[in-house]
Amino acid sequence: MTTTSPHALATESTILHSAQMLDLALRDASPAQVIETALKTVGREQLALVSSFGTESAALLKVMADVDPAIPVIFLDTGWLFEETLAYRDTLIATLGLRDVRSIKPLDEALSRQDPDRELWFTDPDACCRIRKVEPLARALKPFSAWINGRKRFQGGARAEIPVVEEDGTRLKFNPFANVSREEIEAIYKLGKLPPHPLVASGYLSVGCMPCSSRAAADEDARAGRWRGRAKTECGIHTTKTS
């Protein structure tokens, strides 16, 4: 398969064409093959993996570490994360030998101006996500030509038909786990002897920020506990172009 030079990744039309070609070529590829292709396409210096270090994050991080543990990992530390998530991040860094994890925080100026009382999550959760996740991610991705994330089609909703590779403004966006099943995720955990997120045992099937995460019943969708009682299902980093 022909790869694309980083120098060619300049315009949205070029990116769209590259994404479509790569998606076609990788439609049946394994997660490791997708990450290997991302590396060959743009190079390590131009590639980042974005991880929440949530309940299913270790699987993708394990696959990435087996390919190249030095790929930069971006972690959005929103200021509202569970202490268990922060501890889990440190555990996985040590367990998997991750060499370049970058914890990105929202700008103090944005927080003091737009959320001085830390109640924005309640009054306007979209705005809260924007200043704590969307804007910090856009800032963190500026040096990169492509990024990797862990969305899966089985999560449903807006994720049900995600491609393996897509255009994200002037970047390529790789979804190595688009095709995987929940059983395959569990197998990666088992074979890799990966530790679970500490909150899984308490009934959290999906973990984000503390105010907007709740426990979910076994018969509920894995993301049912996110923004419970609201129409909101996404924080915005996957519904807004980063460039």
How far, in Å, CA of 9 to CA of 147, rounded? 13
What Å distances lie between residue 155 and 74, 140, 178, 219, 221, CA to CA?
A: 22, 26, 10, 14, 8
Per the structure block, which two tokens stand in for 142?
Answer: 């500026």
How far, in Å, CA of 49 to CA of 39, rounded? 11
Q: Which candidate in 129, 209, 212, 235 is catalytic?
A: 235
How far, in Å, CA of 10 to CA of 156, rounded? 32
How far, in Å, CA of 218 to CA of 205, rounded? 9
The yes-or-no answer on residue 129 being catalytic is: no
Strand order in the sheet with 101-104: 101-104, 73-76, 47-50, 146-148, 171-174, 165-168
Backbone angles phi, psi at 226, to 5 degrees: -90, 125
How far, in Å, CA of 18 to CA of 129, rounded? 30
Phi-psi region of 107 (alpha: psi -120 to 50; beta: other; left: phi over 0): beta
Q: Which residues are catalytic?
A: 235
